[in-house]
């Protein structure tokens, strides 16, 4: 007979308490995973709650397996471990000739045709298994298949503090009591449930070159995998028929009524294309090698003009799931029916969730803005050494910048730390600059260390002085 879990008590809101720990991490994406691991390794008791069955977020459950060279700390450890455990696959000019410079290549289309390249991806499910084990080895108590839904809070001086995170499980609602909480949802859901301030997706700074007066969020996307592709045949067709973007096949399928209007549009309706081809729907087939030869990941983006706020509106979230599945079905049908090399291909996997690219942006004690980058401002509480990155959203300019610790501290809540895509950064600065896997893992690790230092000192993260960069 299975012994039932006994609650540790009842929260002030009347919910059975099932954990009482130093640090509660909500969401196990790259940010939450690294925060949980680091806080535990610093000696804290840690609970991490994750809606799906593994950590990794967009990069495992969402199938986005792009691997990067280690940038230090847990990120480097992860990449090494994925490699040792056989989860990495690298395509290059030998295994995939005709890929560099090919317009169908999501990442590598800008290379000179035929040039040497290496495109490494990790197998999302294999990597997820590794991440599950790493948390177990460290002694993090991970709760999978449970959704964070609410908070209970107390007053704390001028602000407030979270006392319990409320989760929905197969056993009903349960409460996790903690001293410090970490926002790892990728969409600042904890901030929203706390009633703390944020800017909704699409709320960009008006002075940036690409600002959209209608404030539509950058579309999210659902990733999916096709196996059984003979790309040599596809490339031979592209060459022989001088059809690099498959536009002749697309037009043929469109004329036969085989492609819904939302697929493969060269420009969004109305001729306005402020966000670049990748983010307006699908100008063309958009893919990247994954797993092994013949296996590719494809991108299904929400059409831009639908302006879905998938993190804030339940009807939008549901519509995205249904419509993107419809588009995936249509794209797979087009590829297998019309495109040489795809005739034996099959849909192998569709991501467990539609990733949000431009969700809520929390307002922290400091909001890192494009001016901080442009002026290359330095901060006494920098958590990183100066980093130089391309600010895609500021006309591809390069700036050298630092991240202040105050970007981890949401306004009004004294014991919550932000990580990953939910840092207190404006849209232009988080997008393509700080929200990628390596930096989300780093900011998660910084938050985990800050949580541990706060617990050990008996203070809140807001009271913690930060004087030296970690990375």
Q: Which residues bind ligand FAD (CB under 6 A)?
A: 27-32, 49-52, 57-59, 61, 64, 66, 147-148, 184-186, 189, 220-221, 223, 355-357, 419-422, 435-437, 440
Buried b (16+ CB within 10 A) or exposed e, 277-301: ebbbbbbbbbbbbbbeebbbbbbbb
Contacts of 81 (CB under 8 A, 6+ apart): 130, 134
* Minimum distance, C-beta of residue 343 to ligand FAD, in the bound complex (Å): 27
Integer CA distances (angstroms), 41 to 139, 370, 453, in order: 9, 35, 12
* Minimum distance, C-beta of residue 420 to ligand FAD, in the bound complex (Å): 2
> CB-wise, 226 or 356, nearer to ligand FAD?
356
> CB-wise, 129 or 147, nearer to ligand FAD?
147
* Minimum distance, C-beta of residue 159 to ligand FAD, in the bound complex (Å): 23
As given in the structure block, the two tokens for residue 231 are 């790309």
* Minimum distance, C-beta of residue 223 to ligand FAD, in the bound complex (Å): 6
What torsion, rounded to 10 degrees, do the Cα atoms 152, 155, 157, 158 define?
A: 90
Q: Which of 455, 446, 460 is nearest to 414 (CA)?
A: 460
> CB-wise, 100 or 297, nearer to ligand FAD?
297
* Minimum distance, C-beta of residue 36 to ligand FAD, in the bound complex (Å): 11
Alpha-carbon span 306 to 12, nearest angstrom? 42
As given in the structure block, the two tokens for residue 82 are 């994925």
CA angle 412, 416, 420 (to 5 degrees): 115
β partners of residue 286: none
Q: Which of 159, 193, 153, 160 is nearest to 27 (CA)?
A: 193
> CB-wise, 15 or 249, nearer to ligand FAD?
15
> CB-wise, 73 or 184, nearer to ligand FAD?
184
> CB-wise, 193 or 462, nearer to ligand FAD?
193
* Minimum distance, C-beta of residue 242 to ligand FAD, in the bound complex (Å): 30
What residue has token string 């991806």? Answer: 121
* Minimum distance, C-beta of residue 32 to ligand FAD, in the bound complex (Å): 6
As given in the structure block, the two tokens for residue 30 are 């790259």
The CA radius of gyration of the chain, in Å to the nearest whole number, is: 23
* Minimum distance, C-beta of residue 360 to ligand FAD, in the bound complex (Å): 11
216, containing H or E segment: none
> CB-wise, 163 or 419, nearer to ligand FAD?
419
> CB-wise, 330 or 421, nearer to ligand FAD?
421
């Amino acid at each position: 007979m299975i012994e039932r879990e006994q609650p540790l008590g009842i929260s002030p809101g009347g919910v059975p308490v099932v954990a009482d720990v130093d640090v509660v991490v909500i969401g196990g994406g790259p940010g939450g995973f690294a925060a949980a691991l680091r806080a535990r390794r610093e000696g804290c008791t840690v609970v991490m709650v994750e809606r799906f069955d593994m950590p990794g977020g967009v990069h495992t459950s969402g199938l986005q397996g792009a691997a990067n060279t280690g940038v230090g700390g847990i990120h480097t450890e992860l990449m090494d471990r994925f490699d040792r455990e056989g989860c990495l696959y690298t395509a290059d000019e030998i295994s995939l000739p005709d890929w560099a410079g090919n317009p169908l290549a999501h990442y590598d289309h800008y290379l000179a045709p035929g040039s040497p390249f290496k495109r490494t991806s990790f197998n999302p499910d294999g990597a997820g298994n590794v991440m599950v084990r790493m948390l177990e080895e460290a002694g993090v108590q991970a709760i999978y298949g449970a959704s964070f839904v609410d908070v209970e809070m107390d007053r704390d001086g001028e602000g407030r503090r979270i006392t319990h995170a409320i989760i929905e499980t197969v056993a009903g609602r349960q409460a996790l009591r903690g001293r410090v909480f970490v926002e790892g949802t990728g969409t600042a859901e904890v901030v929203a449930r706390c009633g703390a301030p944020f800017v909704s997706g699409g709320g960009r700074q008006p002075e940036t070159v690409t600002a959209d007066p209608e404030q539509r969020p950058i579309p999210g996307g659902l990733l999916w995998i096709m196996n059984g592709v003979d790309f040599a045949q596809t490339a031979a067709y592209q060459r022989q028929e001088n059809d690099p973007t498959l536009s002749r096949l697309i037009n043929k399928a469109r004329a036969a009524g085989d492609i819904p209007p939302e697929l493969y549009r060269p420009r969004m309706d109305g001729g306005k294309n402020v966000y670049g081809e990748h983010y307006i729907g699908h100008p063309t087939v958009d893919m990247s090698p994954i797993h092994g030869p013949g296996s590719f990941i494809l991108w299904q983006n929400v059409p831009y003009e639908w302006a879905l706020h998938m993190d804030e509106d339940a009807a939008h979230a549901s519509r995205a799931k249904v419509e993107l599945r419809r588009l995936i079905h249509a794209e797979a049908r087009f590829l297998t029916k019309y495109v040489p090399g795809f005739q034996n291909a099959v849909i192998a996997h569709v991501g467990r969730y539609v990733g949000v690219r431009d969700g809520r942006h929390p307002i922290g004690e400091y909001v890192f803005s494009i001016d901080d980058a442009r002026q290359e401002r330095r901060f006494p509480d920098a958590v990183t050494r100066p980093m130089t990155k391309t600010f895609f959203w500021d006309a591809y300019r390069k700036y050298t910048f630092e991240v202040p610790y105050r970007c981890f501290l949401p306004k009004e809540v004294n014991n919550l730390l932000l990580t990953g895509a939910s840092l207190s950064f404006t849209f232009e600065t988080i997008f393509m600059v700080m929200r990628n896997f390596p930096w989300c893992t780093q900011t998660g690790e910084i938050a985990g260390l800050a949580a541990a230092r706060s617990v050990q000192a008996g203070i809140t993260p807001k009271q913690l002085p930060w004087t030296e960069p970690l990375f």
